Structure 1
Amino acid sequence: MVDQVGNIEMAHPHTAITSYSGYIYQGKIALLHCLRLIEQAPEESRRLKLQIESIEDFAILNTDNTCKSLHQVKARKDRLFSDYRPDVEKLRDKANLHEDSEPFFHVSLPLRLIPSTFTSEYSPITFYQYFDTNDSPVDHCPLESVDMFIEHQIKKVYQVVFPDEEYRASNDYLIKSRQFLEDIIIKHVIDVHREIQQSTVTGAVQSRVAASRYIEFDRILEILTQDLTDRYLDESYFHYLLLKDAGTYFHDYCQNVEDNNANTLLKLNYYFSKFNALNPSSLTKFIRAIAPHKKVGFNNISQYKDNTFNRDDFKRGLLKVLDQMAQSEFDESLQLPSFFFWKNDDEYLYPTAIHDHPDDAEELCIEIIEASIADDVNFLFEGGKLVNRHINCQSIFSSVVVGNQIEFNLEDEFSSDLNENRINSFRNVSLISIAEANRVIND
């Protein structure tokens, strides 16, 4: 069954759960293809539109909403063609509904054992051909290379549109151009995926969510034609930079979920639909909650890199906690110190990105206390257990670290910086490992 939306025959959106984890890569590939179209025909491309997660992972639409090209994007670890065969067949069938469109299949790794009959059996599908930084054709785009591919393609666009403006070809300017262009695409991708993931109705309703949202190529060209030299990267940029990085780490983690376990992936996607809905102030609160040992700040690139979460925080810390424990509740009231929580009687447990070894418990507790004092935040004022990978510690102020017998007492060291209420609160904040947290919740 299909629906009519404009002039497009809309099948159900792409619903494979594993694809949700690759939405950032998908957005980057979409940007790369849009830039190639702009290079080929700068003025004609102004009439085109980019659509995400509707007809396919992404599609290029003409002015009248007919489909110019269909694109399915796969960023998986599988290397055999047979692993992708069902997806190729679906794309072939969908392409037959859009006779004037070009269907492309994108992969992040080179595929082996592609049948010699591929062209005749799967026509009109072709594997997308990329160009590396030497302009050599390649049949795949590795996750770690996509930014370089985009910057190289931006350079080619500038050579066509502004052949005499050499400053646009500098590495720093190309990186900055990519950042602003990704800001448009990734915002859109995150918003569409959030709406689809949070939708309680599948199928055609999800299709309409995505079909009603698209990006005019004029918006991409507007960035390309500006002089970005003195353009300021504002709070909105850093907000989406954090969401984009988190989405990349999320995808990395999901690549290793055992046998693509559907229930686990659904649970993790639930968390990310909530995460992607956070505004800048809420995102700051979220970071403080999952990384209470870091002094949060992202007023500039240096602060962002030094003080917010990194790949290991997400992959080895937070996502391990969220994966290995039962699904947490979400604080719809936004009053708790953390958005996600588990409750055991009157005791709250909060997930963190902490993945330190028990031998580092004292240093970690000092960092938590100092970060709270520096940021003047209320996160630790209400007590609670901070769920982490390895450490069981009865109090961040004074404790014997369970299992390691590491004794420390930090109250005297910080007493001059804290009033009595804070001191009492800090005494009630503890660290609890995933294993112990599961035992507490399940008992």
Structure 2
Amino acid sequence: MAGSKITVNPHDIHSAITTWSGFVYQGKVALYHSIKVLTDDSSAGSYALQLDSLEDFAIMAASNSCLSLHQIKALKNTYYSGYEEAFTKLCAKGKIYKCDDLSFHVAVKIGDKSPADIATAHPKMQLYQYDDGQYFCALSHIDAAMAHVITEFYKKHAPEHTWKQQTAYVTATKNVLDDIVQRKVISIHQLVHAGVASDNTLAYTQTISFADLKAVFDEDLNLRTNSEAYFQALLKGDLNRYYQEFCLDCPDPVSDEVKAKMSFFINFINQLPGPELLHFCRQIMPHRKVALNSFSEYKDTTFQQEDLRYAFFKALFELKELTPTKLEELGWRLTAGGMFIPTAISRPQQEIHAVCSAIVQNIQETDFDLPYETSALVTAYMNTPSLQDIVNNTNDIDPEVDELVTPEEEKIMRWKKIGLCSIDEAKKHIS
């Protein structure tokens, strides 16, 4: 790889690193290519991965030269015309930044023009070809593609450590690399929010060293994968992946105002520290016992894509903007008093008894609680004035008793007075 040194004013480069549809697919594609470069280029240890600045991602040399520019379009469009303008713009950027290695990544196959014809129409630019021979990589396939190139790296650079080629270890490698990208983007969000610099400047300067990526391959990751921090990283990875898929599935057009409110909220969640992240999970899933002590517990008790899509993200999308500064503010305060809390409860009304019973059992068996002023949990479809109306005889506490014996009994009775409110019903109360 070779490139010419460039002089760039970061203020002149627009970055969308803090907005709308997230960075998950883009980050995975960037990692895929970076791993291939690490595998094949002996000089790669001095390179850096730049996200959402000169392009969706760029490979930079220590001399501030741009080695390659990459644009990514995760569109459903299968026609050349849907990409032609973006192809032309990428070629123009290649001239500006003195870069001859220009790659365009797509998530679906362009069916009406061949990769060779596209390369002829746009000299120096090519559709990116993945290791399976295809010139596209679907969102659903990018993890498998990453696993493949990780395995190839271990085969070439650590052939004596065949245990690193095992499926579980390759998956752990992928997860740790994903977390490096995720933490870098979250760090940029935090610095922008703190007023350190603009997102344009930070996206240009806050790069990921290839040496840090290489260190993951050299490390024994078995020492990491049983830690709570590892499972927290998986949790955020799932949350952001489901969020991006939700955004991509939204019908166009989506207003800039709605994009901004959703972006604010995902950034807020991403910045929650470990203990608060776990509390957040329990708060939006009060019907499930959230635990992160083992991989099996993680898979059994944490996010489900459909729950987030049809309940939690949908509520944030359709209801009034939420701008919490701390977890206790995660909800809509009503003018008449009380607070509606968004949840990831997406089950239908006919399953309300099972859900209410699970919530009551959960609060009896754990130390989980909600903000004291909570009056209703916002769900996809369920409505009831209170859990008590649905679940009877779940304990021996008499709801007519004025003085409760213990704080735990008081907590249970307060919970049983909390209602469930569908998104459509919530719209009548939240202004």
Task: Give your verdict on TM over 0.5.
Answer: yes
How has the CA–CA distance of structure 1 residues 333 and 118 changed in structure 2, closer, same or farther, with 3 Å as cutoff?
Answer: closer
Residue 100 of structure 1: SS of its match in structure 2? coil
Matched, 1:236 2:229: yes
What are the Cα deviations for residues 179-228 of structure 1, in whole angstroms up to 9, with x where unaligned? 222222232234335656x5899xx9321111221111111111112233
- Which range moved further: 258-267 or 270-279? 258-267
**CA contact 1:297–1:304 (8 Å) conserved in 2:** yes
Structure 1: any 5+ residue segments left out of the alignment? Answer: 400-407
TM-score (norm. length: structure 2):
0.89
How has the CA–CA distance of structure 1 residues 281 and 242 changed in structure 2, closer, same or farther, with 3 Å as cutoff?
Answer: same
What are the Cα deviations for residues 150-199 of structure 1, in whole angstroms up to 9, with x where unaligned? 11111211222123332222222222222222222232234335656x58
Q: Which has the higher strand share?
A: 1
- CA-CA distance at 1:286 after TM superposition: 1.2
How has the CA–CA distance of structure 1 residues 434 and 228 changed in structure 2, closer, same or farther, with 3 Å as cutoff?
Answer: closer
Which residue does 1:305 correspond to in 2?
299
Question: Pick from 167, 170, 173: which aligns with 1:177?
Answer: 173
In structure 2, how many angstroms separate the alpha carbons of the residues matched to 1:260 and 1:195? 30
What are the Cα deviations for residues 32-57 of structure 1, in whole angstroms up to 9, with x where unaligned? 1111111112x311111111111111
Amino acid at match of 2:149: Q
Which runs of structure 2 are paired with 1:411-430 in the superposition (5 Å)?
411-412=394-395, 419-430=408-419
Which residue does 1:402 correspond to in 2?
none
In structure 2, how many angstroms separate the alpha carbons of the residues matched to 1:234 and 1:367? 28
Identical positions, percent: 27
How has the CA–CA distance of structure 1 residues 168 and 426 changed in structure 2, closer, same or farther, with 3 Å as cutoff?
Answer: closer
Which residue does 1:367 correspond to in 2?
358
Matched, 1:436 2:425: yes
Matched, 1:165 2:161: yes
**CA contact 2:72–2:104 (8 Å) conserved in 1:** yes
In structure 1, how many angstroms separate the alpha carbons of the residues matched to 2:268 and 2:126? 36
Matched, 1:154 2:147: no
- CA-CA distance at 1:140 after TM superposition: 0.7
Which residue does 2:334 correspond to in 1?
343
Question: Pick from 297, 313, 317: which aligns with 1:319?
Answer: 313
- Which range moved further: 111-120 or 379-388? 111-120
Which residue does 1:404 correspond to in 2?
none
In structure 2, how many angstroms separate the alpha carbons of the residues matched to 1:235 and 1:6? 42
**CA contact 1:387–1:434 (8 Å) conserved in 2:** yes
Which residue does 2:211 correspond to in 1?
218
What are the Cα deviations for residues 277-315 of structure 1, in whole angstroms up to 9, with x where unaligned? 111111112112211111121122111111112111111
Which residue does 1:291 correspond to in 2?
285
How has the CA–CA distance of structure 1 residues 345 and 21 changed in structure 2, closer, same or farther, with 3 Å as cutoff?
Answer: same
Residue 177 of structure 1: SS of its match in structure 2? helix
Amino acid at match of 2:46: R
**CA contact 2:17–2:185 (8 Å) conserved in 1:** no
- CA-CA distance at 1:233 after TM superposition: 3.7
Which residue does 1:93 correspond to in 2?
92
**CA contact 1:395–1:428 (8 Å) conserved in 2:** yes
How has the CA–CA distance of structure 1 residues 152 and 413 changed in structure 2, closer, same or farther, with 3 Å as cutoff?
Answer: farther
Which runs of structure 2 are paired with 1:374-413 in the superposition (5 Å)?
374-379=365-370, 381-399=372-390, 408-412=391-395
Question: Pick from 235, 241, 245: which aligns with 1:248?
Answer: 241
Which residue does 1:12 correspond to in 2?
13
Matched, 1:257 2:250: yes
How has the CA–CA distance of structure 1 residues 16 and 52 changed in structure 2, closer, same or farther, with 3 Å as cutoff?
Answer: closer
- CA-CA distance at 1:382 after TM superposition: 4.1
Amino acid at match of 2:419: S
- Which range moved further: 56-65 or 221-230? 221-230
What are the Cα deviations for residues 324-378 of structure 1, in whole angstroms up to 9, with x where unaligned? 2121342x254x3x52334232121111111111111111111111212222122
Which residue does 1:112 correspond to in 2?
111
In structure 1, how many angstroms separate the alpha carbons of the residues matched to 2:406 and 2:297? 24
How has the CA–CA distance of structure 1 residues 321 and 295 changed in structure 2, closer, same or farther, with 3 Å as cutoff?
Answer: same
**CA contact 1:317–1:353 (8 Å) conserved in 2:** yes
Residue 220 of structure 2: SS of its match in structure 1? coil
In structure 1, how many angstroms separate the alpha carbons of the residues matched to 2:173 and 2:340? 42
Residue 59 of structure 2: SS of its match in structure 1? strand
Question: Pick from 350, 358, 363: which aligns with 2:349?
Answer: 358
- RMSD between superposed Cα atoms in Å: 2.7
How has the CA–CA distance of structure 1 residues 223 and 441 changed in structure 2, closer, same or farther, with 3 Å as cutoff?
Answer: closer
How has the CA–CA distance of structure 1 residues 209 and 352 changed in structure 2, closer, same or farther, with 3 Å as cutoff?
Answer: same
Residue 259 of structure 1: SS of its match in structure 2? coil
Residue 94 of structure 1: SS of its match in structure 2? helix
- CA-CA distance at 1:412 after TM superposition: 4.0
In structure 2, how many angstroms separate the alpha carbons of the residues matched to 1:69 and 1:233? 37
How has the CA–CA distance of structure 1 residues 386 and 61 changed in structure 2, closer, same or farther, with 3 Å as cutoff?
Answer: same
Residue 175 of structure 1: SS of its match in structure 2? helix
**CA contact 2:186–2:270 (8 Å) conserved in 1:** yes
Q: How many residues align?
A: 418
Matched, 1:208 2:201: yes
Which residue does 2:402 correspond to in 1?
none
Which residue does 1:25 correspond to in 2?
25
Structure 2: any 5+ residue segments left out of the alignment? Answer: 399-404
How has the CA–CA distance of structure 1 residues 314 and 423 changed in structure 2, closer, same or farther, with 3 Å as cutoff?
Answer: closer
In structure 2, how many angstroms separate the alpha carbons of the residues matched to 1:277 and 1:72? 27
How has the CA–CA distance of structure 1 residues 348 and 63 changed in structure 2, closer, same or farther, with 3 Å as cutoff?
Answer: same
- CA-CA distance at 1:117 after TM superposition: 5.7
In structure 2, how many angstroms separate the alpha carbons of the residues matched to 1:212 and 1:88? 25
